[in-house]
A and B are shown apart, each in its own frame.
Chain A
Amino acid sequence: MNDSLLSIEDLIVEFKTELGSVKALKEVSFDVPYSSITAVVGESGSGKSVTSNAIMRLLPDSAQTSGEIILRPQGREPIAINSLDERDPQMQELRGGLVSMVFQEPMTALSPVHRIGDQVAEAVLCHRKVSQEAALAEAAAMLEQVGLTEVESKMRMYPFEFSGGMRQRVIIAMALICNPQLLICDEPTTALDVTIQAEILVLIKSLQRKLNNSVLFITHDLGVVAQIADRVVVMYDGQVMETGSVRQVLKSPQHPYTLHLLSSMPGIKIVEELQTSSEGWAEGAPMGSGTVLGDAGGGRQVREFSK
């Protein structure tokens, strides 16, 4: 009996292209526990965004998927997301209701021609039968929760009047206003300055602790992982290389790819001791698709590799 909010089991995603099919995910499996932050980390092309888009069922028609994505919302029957029909009313409830998403680009994720307040209230009106006034009042309360000041006047402003950090706060408010059980953040701070990034990370973490929901946090920055996550999933080439608690994985990485990622980080103290052990990993080295994730104890899994 699995007791995680989200379980991904043997997920395969294949894209049909003119030059044949490309496997973006090769049997990815991991869990997102209740009330915790799970980070997925890897380079571009590792399949992190494909995984999050598969959870939201946002993949294009050229994608063929197999495997299971199971969401177990509290107080409800589990939902097999991957086998839902596109037109199933549960689909609409799922997107933005039970699961919502914060995107990377705060400049493009908001509509440039609608007022901030109306955009946040729209999410409420889509999911619940409430009056326009009630929805706007809820939007104002949520915008205050994400740390905006003088909310009344900001509600009437347009996105171009906001800085990148303020826009990202608005997007977080939109994502949280229907009280989702799972919040997916796809590189939410990559486009931001380091100081604004720190503020947004502190905000996401404090809101998660307050609302007691779960967050799936996609990033390529191990520093961000260390600061925000409870658990981490390291991905490379459409496969999971290593999973475990943040402390286990970052303090004593076992897979050579995790070491490689750590040693790519500029100016990191712990890197020097680790550098020698990451030499086992070479760019594009076959990870052996037949090998499996082995249990390394303490809720930790590491993919087999040859030295």
Chain B
Amino acid sequence: MSQLLKVTDLCKSFAGQGVVKSVSFDVNESTTLGIVGESGSGKTSLVRSILRAIDPDSGSVRYNSREGWQNLNELSAKALLPLRREIQMIFQDPFASLNPRMTVQAILEEPLIIHGLGDKSWRKQRVAEILEKVQLDASSASRFPHAFSGGQRQRVGIARALILEPRLVVCDESVSALDVSVQAQILDLLASLQSELGLTYLFVAHDLRVVREFCDDVLVMYAGSIVEQGPVAEIFENPQHDYTRLLLSAIPSPDPDEKLEPLDREGLLLE
């Protein structure tokens, strides 16, 4: 399996406060890496630094593009543009992430226009193809976001991310705002798209149940640092760090015999 992403000593601070502290990890192609932690642990700042949606302070983000290895952190905005086709993002809020005044056709063809791809009729055909891929009706193209449910909107968000045929897709809490049964449908869709298109996912989530089901490997973040990383089965069956144990113990079990205990934060070291 070939490597797609190699993050080394990535740091980011806001107003002197370190939010990502020397984070390093690798991601293999066509796998899913889960990034978990509480709010404030730095998971969103981490993925945004990788995407250069914000500029990291130091460290390198080496990405194995179709043209070979590149350090995203060293590229100018202009040099980064062609790589943006390969790296896309699916956002958390299916209501806030779609422009209410644009039709689904306009929303989905905008990335194609930005990257100067095809003519009008080709783009229309491409939108129809991608709608079919995310299991939305072809007639959806002429409608506005308000006409869709949360789950359908998230399908539009997925279609927008995939229309440029990316290789790396960052999902930032992409199923957190959805009901449990809609969540299951969207996860099924993401999984089948991954096996069909060979996608690599960075999957940010605070719900460990979802991560356990969906990811191959997982990073556990606490106060800006990785406290534990490894294959999902390993981390969940045999957590080594106190913080990982705390996170796992907080998951409410649907078995009434497994009682939730008050969490014990004592002994957790804040570095």
Binding site for B on A (CB under 8 A): 43-44, 164, 193-199, 201-202, 220-227, 246-247, 250-251, 260-262, 264-270
Sorted nearest first, the 9 A-B pairs with minimum C-beta distance are: A223-B252, A198-B250, A266-B213, A264-B181, A267-B212, A227-B252, A266-B209, A267-B213, A227-B260
A225 CA / B184 CA spacing, docked (Å): 19
**B256 contacts A44, C-beta separation under 8 Å:** no
Does B39 belong to the interface (CB within 8 Å)? yes
Residues of B contacting A201 in the complex (Cβ-Cβ under 8 angstroms): 252, 260
Q: Which of B179, B184, B187, B252 makes the CB contact (< 8 A) with A224?
A: B252
Q: Give the contact-size bracket for chain B.
A: 20 to 34
Q: How far is the CA of A44 from the CA of B183 in the complex (A)?
A: 12
Q: How far is the CB of B178 from chain A (nearest CB, A)?
A: 9
Contacts of B208 in A (CB 8 A): 194
The closest CB in chain A to the CB of B206 belongs to A193
Additional 7 contacts, C-beta under 8 A, given A199-B262, A223-B254, A226-B253:
A194-B207, A194-B208, A194-B247, A195-B246, A227-B259, A266-B184, A267-B212
- Say which residue of A44, A198, A265 sits within 8 Å of B260 (CB atoms): A198
Residues 229-261 of B contacting A (Cβ, < 8 Å): 246-247, 249-256, 258-261
Residue from the set A164, A194, A198, A199 with the largest chain B CB neighbour count within 10 Å: A194
Residues in A whose Cβ lies below 8 Å from that of B1: none
The answer to whether A266 and B253 have CB atoms under 8 Å apart is no
CA distance A164 to B183 in the complex (A): 23
With a CB–CB cut-off of 8 A, which chain A residues contact B144?
none
B74 interface hit (Cβ, 8 Å): no
Contact with A along B175-187 (1 / 0, CB 8 A): 0000111111001
Residues 67 to 118 of chain B near chain A (Cβ within 8 Å): none
B15 within 8 A of A: no
Which residues from chain A contact B256 at a C-beta distance below 8 Å?
226-227, 246-247, 250-251
Given A195-B38, A199-B263, A202-B260, the answer on whether A223 and B210 have CB atoms closer than 8 Å is no
- Taking CB atoms, residues of chain A closer than 8 Å to B255 are 226, 250-251, 269-270
Contact partner, A266, options B182, B212, B252, B259, Cβ 8 Å: B212
Using A261-B180, A264-B184, A266-B209 as known contacts, say yes or no to A195 and B250 having CB atoms under 8 A apart: yes
Within 8 A of A (CB), among B213-236: 213-214
Q: What is the minimal beta-carbon distance from A248 to any residue of chain B, in angstroms?
A: 10
Q: Are A270 and B260 in touch, CB under 8 angstroms?
A: no
From residue A230, how far is it (CB to closest CB) to chain B in Å? Answer: 10
A251 to B250 CA separation, bound complex (whole angstroms):
21
Main secondary structure of the interface of A (DSSP, over half): helix
Query: Could you tell me the distance between the alpha carbons of A193 and B180 in the complex, rounded to whole angstroms?
Result: 16
Contacts of B150 in A (CB 8 A): 44
Across the interface, do A250 and B254 meet the contact criterion of CB distance under 8 Å?
A: yes
> Using Cβ atoms and an 8 Å threshold, which residues of chain B touch A265?
180, 209, 254
Measured between alpha carbons, how far is A225 from B256 in the docked complex, in Å? 8
Q: Which of B39, B182, B213 gathers most chain A CB within 10 Å?
A: B39
Name the CB-closest residue of A to B175.
A266
Query: Hey, which chain B residues are within 8 Å of A197, CB to CB?
Result: 250, 252
Closest beta carbon of chain B to A13's beta carbon, Å: 21
Task: Sample 8 A-B pairs with CB under 8 A, ordered by A number.
Answer: A195-B38, A199-B262, A226-B253, A227-B259, A264-B180, A266-B210, A266-B214, A267-B210
Interface pair B254/A262, CB less than 8 Å apart: yes
Q: How many Å lie between the Cα of A3 and that of B152 in the bound state?
A: 44
Identify the interface centre among A199, A225, A264, A267: most chain B CB within 10 Å of its CB. A267
Q: Is the CB of B254 within 8 A of A194?
A: no
Residues of B with C-beta under 8 A to A247 = 256
Asked if B254 and A198 make an inter-chain contact with CB atoms under 8 angstroms apart, the answer reads: no
Complex partner residue of B179 from A199, A220, A225, A267, CB under 8 angstroms: A220
